[in-house]
Structure 1
C-alpha cells in the first residue's frame, strides 16, 4: 500500500509538472507568434520613425529653385544633377506636337504593354483628339518593354496605325512606375513644348475632358455650384472612405487672366491629395523600410491615377527631379520633388482614385474615376455622359 501511495504521488507530481511545461510552451509559442505578427505589421518600426514636421530632410539639400531655373533657361547649373534616369526612347512620336500645334491639353497615359483594348477604348472616348473641335488636344501612351516578341510586334503595328506610342527601354513593371512617369514628363517638356496643360492618367480611368477644362478655368471654385477651396494646409490623414473635406485654403490660384482662365504662369499640380503615413507592414505592396524613408508621414501627394499639371509646374517638376533622390513610387517621388521646389499640390475631390459608383447624374462633375479597366464599360459610361453634356 505504501508503494502504491508513493507511486500515485509521483505520478501526480509529474502530471502537474507536465501541465506546467505544456502551459509554458503554449505561452512561449503564443508570445513568439504575436511578436512575429507585430513585427510583420510594422508596429515596432513606427516607434523608430522620425517626425516629418521637425526632422524632414531629403537629398539634395538646399534651395533647388535657382538650379531648376538655370536648367529651364538652358544654362549649365553650378551643381550637377544627382538623379540621372537611365533609359532611352525606342518610340518618340516626333510629329505628335508639330511646330504649328498649340494644344490646350496633352493626355499622357501610362499603359501596360498588353493593354491593347484599353488603349483603343481611350482613343474612342476621352482620349479622342477630335472630341472637342474648339479645343486642341493631343494624346500619347507611355510604355516600357517586355520579353514577348509577339506583343512587341503588335505594339509596333499599333504605333504604325495610330502614331501615339512613346516607348522607352526599361522593363514595363509596377516597380518602374517612376521611370515611366518621368519619361512622360521628359517627353512632354522636350517634344510638346506648346501644350498648356499635361494630364497624366492610368489606362483604367474614366476622364471627362469637359469637366477637366471647367476645373482648369477656375480650380479654386470647382464645381461652380459649390465654392470649395483647394490647397491643402491642414495636414491630416484622409483615408479612402472619409467623405468630408479637409480644412483647405484657396491661396495661390487667384492668378487668372482677363478671360477668367487660370494664368499660365501659375504652378498648378492638382488631383486627389493625401497626407498619410508610409506602409510599414511587410506584406504590403507599398511597404517602405526606414532606410528608404524614415519619417512618420509622406509629404502631401497627389494620387497617381489621374492628375493635371500646368506647363510651368511641368517644367519645375521635370527639372526638379534631377536634384531629388529617386523613389520607387511615382506619386511619392513627385510629392518629394514638389515639396523641395515649393509647389503645393491642389486637392479636388472630383478626381476619384477609387471607382465611384456610377449614375448619370452622379457623374455630372466627375473629372476622373478609377476602375474602368473594362473597355466596353468605359465606352458605355463615357457615351452616356457625352450625351448628357458632361464629358
Structure 2
C-alpha cells in the first residue's frame, strides 16, 4: 500500500484517499495546550513530548525541577496523559499549576500506549506545527536537551526530511504467551517479526516525518505495543528508522561520556538531581572517577 503517494494526493489536491479508515481515534481532548511558545522562529525548534502514566505526578514534577526546567531556548515540553477518573481531580490541579498537559479521554492502560503516541503526534502537527524536531521520551528518563540540540545541528537538510532516529531494534518478534504483558495475538499481528522499530523510551522525528505519520495512522491497524506500532507505520510510509547509540544510555555512562542524549531509568526526583549534578560537574568527575573523596560532588 503506497502511503507516500496517498499522502501527496491529500496535500496537493485536498482530497481524502479512497481507503477505508481502520484505526479511528474517537477520543476527546480533556486538556489541550493551544500552540507552542518558541522564542525565535526560523531556527531549530524542539518539541519534547513526555509520555507519562496519570499516576506519575512525582516523575513529572522531577522533570520540571531538573532537565525540563528550560528558559530562553527554542524548546517546548508537554506531558502526554490518558485518563483515570479517580485521579482526575489531582490532574486538574496539576494543569492549573503548570499548564503543560495534553490529555485525552482514553483509559490509562498499557495497551493504550499507542493511543497516547498517536495523540502526541497529532497534537504536535496540529497545534505545534512550527516545531522542527519532535522528541518522545518516557517520564523515567533524563534527557540532555543540550546534547539533543547539538545532535540536531550535525544533521543536514536531507537527513531531516526522513529523520526518525533512536535505539533501533531489528529482527525482534511479538510475544505470543498470553501471560506476557506484551502479548500480541496472531489475529492482531500474524507475522513472526516486527519491522525495524525504535525503542519507545526515547526517539526523535522531524516535522516532515511527523506529518506523514499523522496521515497514515487511520489506515494502519491498531496495535497497543507503541514502539512496534510506530515501526509498522514507518514502513508503510517508506521511512527507515535509524540507530543512534546515544539515544539509549545506561546510567553508568554518566561517568564516561557526557555526550549521551538520554539516561534511564530513574524512580524519583533525587535520581534526576544526581544525574544533573554529575553532568554539571562532569570534568571534575572524569578527573577523579572511582576515587571515594569525589563522592562529595553528588552531595552538593
User: Shorter-chain TM-score category?
Assistant: 0.7 to 0.9
Contact 2:38-2:75 within 8 A present in 1 as well: no
Q: Relative to structure 1, is the Cα distance of residues 170 and 104 closer, same or farther in structure 2, using a 3 angstrom cutoff?
A: same
Give, in angstroms, the shift of residue 162 of structure 1.
1.0
Matched, 1:90 2:26: no
Partner of 2:246: 350
Partner of 2:59: 118
Distance in 1, Cα, partners of 2:12 & 2:60: 36
Matched, 1:323 2:215: no
* Bigger mean CA offset, 201-210 vs 289-298: 289-298
SS at match of 2:255: coil
- The partner residue of 1:278 within 155, 174, 194 is 174
Give, in angstroms, the shift of residue 321 of structure 1.
1.2
Distance in 2, Cα, partners of 1:373 & 1:101: 36
Partner of 2:295: none
Give, in angstroms, the shift of residue 314 of structure 1.
0.7
Q: Relative to structure 1, is the Cα distance of residues 369 and 74 closer, same or farther in structure 2, using a 3 angstrom cutoff?
A: farther
SS at match of 1:290: coil
- The partner residue of 1:369 within 249, 253, 263 is 263
Cα RMSD (Å) of the superposition?
2.2
Partner of 1:338: 234
Give, in angstroms, the shift of residue 110 of structure 1.
0.8
Partner of 1:269: 164
Give, in angstroms, the shift of residue 63 of structure 1.
0.8
Unpaired segments ≥5 residues, structure 1 = 1-61, 220-255, 257-261
- The partner residue of 2:8 within 69, 73, 84 is 69
- Measured against aligned partners, the alpha-carbon deviations of 1:27-46 in whole angstroms (never above 9, x if no partner) come to xxxxxxxxxxxxxxxxxxxx
- The partner residue of 1:139 within 67, 77, 92 is 77
Distance in 2, Cα, partners of 1:334 & 1:270: 12
SS at match of 1:313: helix
Matched, 1:196 2:91: no
Distance in 1, Cα, partners of 2:233 & 2:273: 36
Distance in 2, Cα, partners of 1:337 & 1:315: 12
Give, in angstroms, the shift of residue 373 of structure 1.
2.3
- Measured against aligned partners, the alpha-carbon deviations of 1:43-63 in whole angstroms (never above 9, x if no partner) come to xxxxxxxxxxxxxxxxxxx21
Contact 1:199-1:307 within 8 A present in 2 as well: yes
Unpaired segments ≥5 residues, structure 2 = 284-300
Contact 1:363-1:385 within 8 A present in 2 as well: no
* Higher alpha-carbon Rg: 1
Matches within 5 A, 1:147-158: 147-148=85-86, 151-158=87-94
SS at match of 1:96: coil
Partner of 2:286: none
